[in-house]
Chain A
């Protein structure tokens, strides 16, 4: 079976740091992706981890521990425009992604 869990909702304030966790149990693993999706728009790629450790891209970082089936997305210096859904996705065998149900992040001033 396959299961990808992330919190449904999170709130934070501008300028803060927020960490969105994702745990997964899948029958195969070929990498973990994070996507951002604003309301009414398409998902856009944020980051990709295939090896354990931290990947940093500007204000966004993503961490992976394959032995624990765990990843997190770290957003620093939050801005209002970061209010969106954040989707954790696992690539199994093949190239299709298995998505979690997403975490809706609300950033307030």
Chain B
């Protein structure tokens, strides 16, 4: 299926741990994003990559480090997890350019205990 996929779908971990979330798209897009959706359902941009280059880095703690090994993949590594990191993290992708909509992955629900 053509889509944006993320793994894992659910992630439960303890404070202080390091974890990664993986994202892959097979839509041929050249721009990928990470969004965070908090408990109040507010969806907020974290990072954006275009052709493996970081183009947007919002005010996100440097415990969060995105990595794009190629145009089809954008992974998110989180160090020293905190309770406030609990949220749903969505990966998205689009063609470059202002006219194109973004396609979202199914989300990864991260719970930090």
Give residues in A with beta carbon < 8 Å to B. 30-31, 33, 37, 41-45, 48, 50, 85, 87, 91, 94-99, 101-102
Q: Which residues of A contact B96 (CB under 8 A)?
A: 95
Shortest Cβ gap from A11 to chain B (Å):
17
Shortest Cβ gap from B48 to chain A (Å):
5
In the complex the two chains form, what is the Cα distance from A44 to B103 in whole Å?
A: 7
A41 and B94 in contact (CB under 8 A), knowing A94-B55, A97-B45?
Answer: no
Which residues B67-113 have CB closer than 8 A to chain A?
A: 90, 94, 96-107
In the complex the two chains form, what is the Cα distance from A37 to B35 in whole Å?
A: 14
In the complex the two chains form, what is the Cα distance from A30 to B101 in whole Å?
A: 12
Chain B residue nearest in CB terms to A33: B101
A101 and B42 in contact (CB under 8 A), knowing A45-B101, A95-B48?
Answer: yes
Shortest Cβ gap from B88 to chain A (Å):
9
Q: Which residues of B contact A91 (CB under 8 A)?
A: 98
Chain A residue nearest in CB terms to B3: A42
Contact mask for chain B residues 52-72; partner A; CB cutoff 8 A; 1 contact, 0 none: 000110000000000000000
Q: Which residues of A contact B31 (CB under 8 A)?
A: 95
The answer to whether B103 touches A98 (Cβ under 8 A) is no
The answer to whether B98 touches A50 (Cβ under 8 A) is yes
Q: Which residues of A contact B56 (CB under 8 A)?
A: 94, 96
Q: Which residues of B contact A87 (CB under 8 A)?
A: 43
**12 residue pairs bridging A and B, Cβ less than 8 Å apart:** A37-B41, A42-B107, A43-B104, A44-B104, A45-B102, A85-B41, A91-B98, A94-B55, A96-B48, A98-B45, A99-B44, A102-B43
Chain B residue nearest in CB terms to A89: B43
Shortest Cβ gap from B19 to chain A (Å):
20
Q: Which residues of A contact B106 (CB under 8 A)?
A: 41-42
Chain B residue nearest in CB terms to A44: B104
The answer to whether A48 touches B42 (Cβ under 8 A) is no
The answer to whether A99 touches B42 (Cβ under 8 A) is yes
